[in-house]
């Protein structure tokens, strides 16, 4: 196991801004469209974090900031409170990973579709900001942050193929 990398603000702040803009944009625009869509998004966001807590059960970043896929998610923090270093079977991890990817990406994609369909005619440029920022975040976050991570060899999200 590598020494745990001590993350600095400068390591993540620019990348995090893209995620924050996307996340806040989704919340504001879904709130404009419908409170029900907003509640659905928040419900699946919380579920995504709970699934990530299971995935992060054996990470050295458990209970601290996670630089990788759970950046600005609270899986690593929740993991320390919920999992308590229990062993998780390969089958459970596989199922959890599949649901995490489906729910996580599905939640954001569904939100982007709802926002674009609902607000395209009235707020054309504003509807493009959250998906564009999320795309930038997703494209640059893992290649920049994952190589520095102390758990890069064992991270289930980074090494998704290892479980299948």
- Please report, for the chain, the start and end positions of each structural domain, with discontinuous segments joined by +: 11-163
Own/partner pairs, 113-117, CB within 8 angstroms, 24+ separation: 114/30, 114/33, 114/37, 115/26, 115/29, 115/30, 115/33
Reference 39, options 54, 26, 25, 21; nearest CA is: 26
Own/partner pairs, 125-130, CB within 8 angstroms, 24+ separation: 126/25, 126/29, 127/29, 129/21, 129/22, 129/25, 130/21, 130/22, 130/23, 130/25, 130/26, 130/29
Reference 111, options 36, 20, 162, 12; nearest CA is: 36
Question: How far apart are the C-alpha atoms of 146 and 106, rounded to whole Å?
Answer: 23
Q: Is the pLDDT of residue 82 over 80?
A: no
Which is more confident, 44 or 84? 44
Structural tokens at position 80: 């320390």
Instruction: Give residue 12's pLDDT.
Output: 72
Structure confidence at residue 36 as a pLDDT band (50, 70, 90): very high
Q: Is the pLDDT of residue 2 over 60?
A: no
> What's the whole-number mean pLDDT along residues 122-134?
90
Instruction: Give residue 1's pLDDT.
Output: 43
Which is more confident, 59 or 41? 41
Instruction: Give residue 32's pLDDT.
Output: 94
Considering just the CA atoms, what is the radius of gyration of the chain in Å? Answer: 16
pLDDT tens digits along 62-81: 766 666 555 566 776 777 77
pTM across the whole model: 0.82
Instruction: Give residue 49's pLDDT.
Output: 85
Alpha helices of 84-153 — where are they, by DSSP H?
Answer: 90-119, 124-145
Instruction: Give residue 131's pLDDT.
Output: 92
């Amino acid at each position: 196991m590598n020494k745990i990398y001590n993350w600095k603000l400068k390591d993540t702040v620019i990348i995090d801004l893209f995620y924050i803009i996307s996340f806040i944009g989704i919340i504001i625009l879904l709130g404009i469209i419908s409170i029900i869509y907003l509640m659905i998004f928040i419900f699946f966001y919380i579920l995504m974090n709970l699934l990530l807590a299971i995935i992060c059960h054996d990470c050295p970043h458990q209970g601290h900031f996670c630089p990788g896929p759970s950046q600005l998610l609270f899986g690593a923090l929740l993991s320390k409170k919920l999992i308590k270093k229990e062993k998780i079977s390969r089958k459970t991890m596989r199922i959890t990973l599949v649901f995490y990817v489906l729910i996580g990406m599905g939640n954001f994609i569904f939100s982007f579709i709802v926002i674009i369909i609902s607000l395209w005619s009235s707020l054309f440029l504003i509807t493009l900001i959250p998906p564009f920022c999320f795309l930038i975040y997703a494209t640059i976050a893992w290649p920049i942050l994952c190589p520095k991570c102390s758990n890069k060899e064992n991270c289930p999200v980074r090494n998704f193929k290892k479980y299948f």
